[in-house]
Amino acid sequence: MSTNKKHIVILGAGFAGLQLARRISESDYEITLIDQYNFHQFQPLMYQVATARLEPSSISFPLRKVFQKKKNVHVRLTSVKEVNTNTQQVMTSAGIFTYDYLVIATGCTTNYFGNQDMERFAFPMKSTMESIVLRNRILLNFEEALSADADTLPAIMNIVVVGGGPTGVELSGSLAELKTHVLPKDYPDMDFSKLNVYLLEAGPATLGVMSKASQQKSQQYLEQMGVYVWTGSQVKTYDGKTVILADGRTIPTHTLIWSAGVTGNVPAGISQEKLVRGNRIKVDSCNRLEGSDNVYVIGDISYMENKDFPKGHPQLANVAIAQAKNLAQNFRNLLHGKPLRVFDYRNPGTMATVGKRKAVVDLPFISFQGRLAWYVWMFLHLMLIVSVKNRLFIFINWTISYFTNDTTLRLILMPAAKQSTSKEKTP
């Protein structure tokens, strides 16, 4: 690695970290991109992996493939142990990395709000691996249901989704379509009228951050598809067999999917005084860590207050990408002695899909739902995919699913224990 170039260390290869590394890969910096995975994960479509609509490889892209021709970008597969902003070092399981500039883009992880039972028994969906685990659980449910007795069958056939945000709504709709169009063909000897999908939301409506029209339409779509939508329903606890709500209601289930909240994935070494609600790191208008000149924070983990966003920016891919673009320009400005550019975000809108030809879109000046919203949702998500090849695979899968209401991806892939190949010696 060159010693006369400034060294930028980027922690995290999500939307923010990857976008930044790509945009400064042609600049006069040495860049080290650190992540615990060797691939970028497209989180908005993880629910389609969990419901066997897409292959995991369709929404994942190898980091080293992205930077094959970039000699100044170095990918390191390791976990961060601690950050020391005084010595300008990042301690990892693969060694110590010294930086001139540090960018923290470690994103968020699942927030169980201190409920240890929920953390132990619920299924999260924040990584590709977790999506595969959930897919296995969902598909194994129906294999177990074939031989289940009357007492255990309800818990197997009930699937509970907690959290009525975009992830919860999209996952619930996908499960409903799986129940209606796919599973009866796979299991002709099973009664799928006994399969129930519940969506539990503690707030008064689904998609709480979207317009009233989108909230109402999303719930209407879900209920028409057979999903039981319980708003104003806060989960108290879950023991792996029964969900208990705060109002005393219970639902027997072996599958509870938790999409009710996230918390910042803050690396050790960052002072607690720099953190705000949601475990996010407070930054200035240029995404600098408060009190620092060479540490920047972008993406879901950053918290920036201004007149347009007095409670911080929403934790969305569009925000992460926009912050990365602005920081890339600021790194170029630093090379040429120019002042930093303030981050100014213009919200392009929010959207969520519920099912085939069913989506809701809120743009700054208009809100619409239905078929057109569904096409807009598909197009914009395809454009966010890193690789043209991955876009093509996803488009082909979606096209097949559109015309057949089916996929061929319902594979139960369980990890296998390594078997010993040694043989006992005979005398």
Q: What pLDDT was estimated at residue 69? A: 87
Q: What is residue 420's predicted lDDT score, i.e. its pLDDT? A: 54
The pLDDT of residue 427 is above 50: no
pLDDT at 156 over 50: yes
Q: What is the DSSP string of 310-368?
A: TT-----HHHHHHHHHHHHHHHHHHHTTPPPPPP------EEEEEETTEEEEEETTEEE
Task: Give the model's pLDDT for residue 163.
Answer: 94
* For residue 122, pLDDT beyond 90: yes
Backbone φ and ψ of 3, nearest 5°: -100, -15
Q: What is the CA radius of gyration of the chain?
A: 23
**Rounded average pLDDT over 88-114:** 95
Q: Given this model, what pLDDT does residue 408 score? A: 67
Which tokens belong to 371? 């078929």
Interval 149-165 mean pLDDT: 94
Residue 151's Cα: distance from chain center in Å? 35
Q: Do strands 60-62 and 39-41 pair parallel, antiparallel, or not at all (unpaired)?
A: antiparallel
What are the distances in angstroms from CA 290 to CA 150, 282, 297, 335?
A: 59, 7, 10, 22
Distance CA 245, CA 261 (A): 17
Instruction: Look at residue 343 in the predicted model and tell me its pLDDT.
Output: 96
| Over residues 56-75, mean pLDDT | 92
Amino acid 424: pLDDT: 47
The whole-number pLDDT of residue 360 equals 96
Q: What is the mean pLDDT of residues 227-246?
A: 95
Residue 118 — very low, low, confident or very high, per pLDDT cuts 50/70/90? very high
| Structure confidence at residue 8 as a pLDDT band (50, 70, 90) | very high
- Annotated catalytic residue, options 170, 201, 223, 273: 170
Q: Would residue 144 show up in a list of annotated catalytic residues for this protein? A: no
pLDDT in the model for residue 411: 79
Q: What is the pTM of this model?
A: 0.91
- Whether 344 shows a pLDDT value over 80: the answer reads yes
pLDDT of the residue at 419: 62
In the numeric block, which tokens belong to residue 427? 């005398």
Average pLDDT, rounded, for the chain: 92
In terms of pLDDT, which residue wins out, 415 or 377? Answer: 377
Banded pLDDT at 210 (limits 50, 70, 90) = very high
Q: Where are the domains of the chain?
A: 6-110+262-335, 116-260
What are the two backbone dihedrals, phi and then psi, of residue 47, each rounded to the nearest 5 degrees?
Answer: -65, -25
Tell which wins on pLDDT, 45 or 414: 45
Instruction: Work out the angle between the directed axes of helices 388-404 and 371-384 (0-180°, nearest 10).
Output: 150
Tens-digit pLDDT profile for residues 389-413: 889 989 998 998 888 888 767 878 7
pLDDT bracket for residue 425 (50, 70, 90): very low
Q: Which CATH architecture has domain 6-110+262-335?
A: 3-Layer(bba) Sandwich (3.50)
pLDDT on residue 407: 74
Amino acid at 99: Y
User: CATH topology of 6-110+262-335 equal to that of 116-260?
Assistant: yes
**CATH topology assigned to domain 116-260:** FAD/NAD(P)-binding domain (3.50.50)
Mean pLDDT of 286-307: 95
Percentage of the chain beyond pLDDT 90 is 80
Distance CA 233, CA 111 (A): 18
Mean pLDDT across 268-277: 93
Summarize the confidence of residues 155-167 as an average pLDDT: 95
Q: Report the pLDDT averaged over residues 8-33.
A: 95
- pLDDT tens across 350-374, in order? 999 999 999 999 998 899 999 999 9
- Whether residue 426 is predicted with pLDDT greater than 50 in this model: the reply is no
CA distances to 317, 352, 375 from 303, in Å: 14, 24, 32
pLDDT score of 15 more than 80: yes
